[in-house]
Amino acid sequence: MPRAPRKEPLRVEVASVVPLKRAEAFSVVVDELVEALGRQGLVFVPGPKGTITQQEKPVGHVEAWVPKERIRLAWHPAPWLPNETTELELRFADAAGGTRVSAEHRGGADVFGEAGEVAGWVAGSALASFVANLAPAALGDWVTDRTARRPSGRRSRGIYSDPIFHRPNFALLLEVLELGPRDRLLEVGCGGGAFLQEALRSGCSATAVDHSPDMVRLARANNRAAVEAGRLEVLEAEASELPVITGAYTCAVSTGALAFFPRALETFREVHRALTPGGRFAVFTGTRELVGTPACPEPIASRVHFYEDAELETLARQGGFRSAEVRRPDLVRYAVALGLAPDVVDLFRSLPAAAQLLVAHR
């Protein structure tokens, strides 16, 4: 009897040369994959015995783990075809300009049914998502998220561990808040926890919130002693839904983050709820004057919300605060007092109306 022709194994490959040496490319790609897959509901546990699971069900397991060279996973793309095991291999190879990183999936033709459907999947799922992610809206969102709106990655971890350009407004906020050991501080949009480091020196205790998992981990790591002593907790949450106890805080702060909050009024309501009567809320944000400067380049500039002074005061009052006042502080004197480099001080000097400080009381 003639045998049915074997289906050719389907191969799909994506590749790019990244400008990094092989060891670094390997570790960055693995770290970033863990994060990015996590955002899409896949849990990737890296390492020689690594696994990938989706809704706690196994999808793949590591069969070969050769650091700096390759990772091969046995893949189970279709639980409705339990015998269908495919292979997914990541490879790292020296190339002109850096390291060629590629991912190849082999097998799986049966999953698609008819042969013509393969082209449909390649175009509709693999290529379309690749092309859409390269189009302006997605790229602009990626850059904005990556650097400021939901920072992640090594570069952002470095910047938000020591945000030198934010130090003058940190000094201003500390002056306004007058923290002491009896204060319980709430920070919304804490980034890498650099402001917390300074605030905790007052002896206060604090809760900080950020929606970037990378920043939450960084803020904890940068304030490890306070976390271990039970003086600080850092929570991953949206600014408009604060997972904190009503009336638990004497003061609250948000710096460099309000412009990104999609539901700012809800954030004000939430902070108001979290404060004790008489509690103070200091918000530092930038004005439209920053657009086009290194502090607010495109594509970030067109993805943030700038507030007029009166609009900000109204927002706080609508959020329930009994008093709200906006000032336009001059940050030059703080930059000078901190001993920042002359070119950094000059940057603050060149933007005299760029700083906006709201002080509100519950």
Ligand X SMILES: C[S@@+](CC[C@H](N)C(=O)[O-])C[C@H]1O[C@@H](n2cnc3c(N)ncnc32)[C@H](O)[C@@H]1O
The one-character DSSP state at 242 is: -
Minimum CB distance to ligand X, residue 172 (Å): 12
Q: Which one of 25, 194, 200, 340 is in contact with ligand X (CB under 6 A)?
A: 194
For position 211 contacting ligand X by CB under 6 A, the verdict is yes
Minimum CB distance to ligand X, residue 267 (Å): 8
Whether omega before 299 lies within 30 degrees of 0, making that bond cis, reads yes
Q: Which one of 77, 163, 320, 329 is in contact with ligand X (CB under 6 A)?
A: 163
CB closest to ligand X, residue no: 191
For position 260 contacting ligand X by CB under 6 A, the verdict is yes
Give every CB contact of residue 62 below 8 A, 6+ residues apart in sequence: 46, 47, 48, 49, 50, 51, 71, 72, 73
Per 3-state DSSP, the chain is made up of helix, strand and coil in percentages (nearest 5) of 40, 30, 35
Burial of residue 88, with CB atoms counted within 10 A of its CB: 0-12 exposed, 13-18 middle, 19 or more buried: buried
Minimum CB distance to ligand X, residue 28 (Å): 20
Structure tokens at 326: 């906006």
Q: Which one of 52, 88, 101, 190 is in contact with ligand X (CB under 6 A)?
A: 190
For position 144 contacting ligand X by CB under 6 A, the verdict is no
For position 256 contacting ligand X by CB under 6 A, the verdict is yes
For position 296 contacting ligand X by CB under 6 A, the verdict is no
Residue 95 has φ and ψ, to the nearest 5°, of: -150, 160
Minimum CB distance to ligand X, residue 185 (Å): 13
Between residue 213 and residue 242, which ones bind ligand X under the rule CB under 6 A? 215, 238-239
For position 212 contacting ligand X by CB under 6 A, the verdict is yes
Q: Which residue, 15, 199, 167, is CA-closest to 98? A: 15
Span from 32-40, 122-130, 145-153, 326-334 in contact with ligand X (CB under 6 A): 145-153
Residue closer to ligand X by CB (options 93, 221) is: 221
Structure tokens at 299: 């594509």
Residue closer to ligand X by CB (options 99, 267) is: 267
Give every CB contact of residue 190 below 8 A, 6+ residues apart in sequence: 196, 208, 209, 210, 215, 219, 234
Q: Which one of 76, 105, 157, 166 is in contact with ligand X (CB under 6 A)?
A: 166
Minimum CB distance to ligand X, residue 98 (Å): 29
Residue closer to ligand X by CB (options 32, 69) is: 32
For residue 67, the Cα-to-chain-centroid distance in whole angstroms is 27
The one-character DSSP state at 288 is: G
For position 73 contacting ligand X by CB under 6 A, the verdict is no
For position 168 contacting ligand X by CB under 6 A, the verdict is no
Minimum CB distance to ligand X, residue 203 (Å): 21
Minimum CB distance to ligand X, residue 332 (Å): 18
Q: What per-residue string of b and e applies to 201-214 under the rule 16 or more CB within 10 Å gives b?
A: ebebbbbbbbbbeb
For position 331 contacting ligand X by CB under 6 A, the verdict is no
Q: In whole angstroms, what is the distance from residue 67 CA to residue 104 CA?
A: 17
What is the three-class DSSP state of 248? coil
For position 105 contacting ligand X by CB under 6 A, the verdict is no
For position 151 contacting ligand X by CB under 6 A, the verdict is yes
Report whether 243 contacts 233 (CB < 8 A).
Answer: no
Span from 122-130, 210-218, 291-299, 327-335 in contact with ligand X (CB under 6 A): 210-218
The one-character DSSP state at 347 is: H
Q: Which residues bind ligand X (CB under 6 A)?
A: 148-151, 160, 163, 166, 189-191, 194-195, 210-212, 215, 238-239, 255-257, 260-261
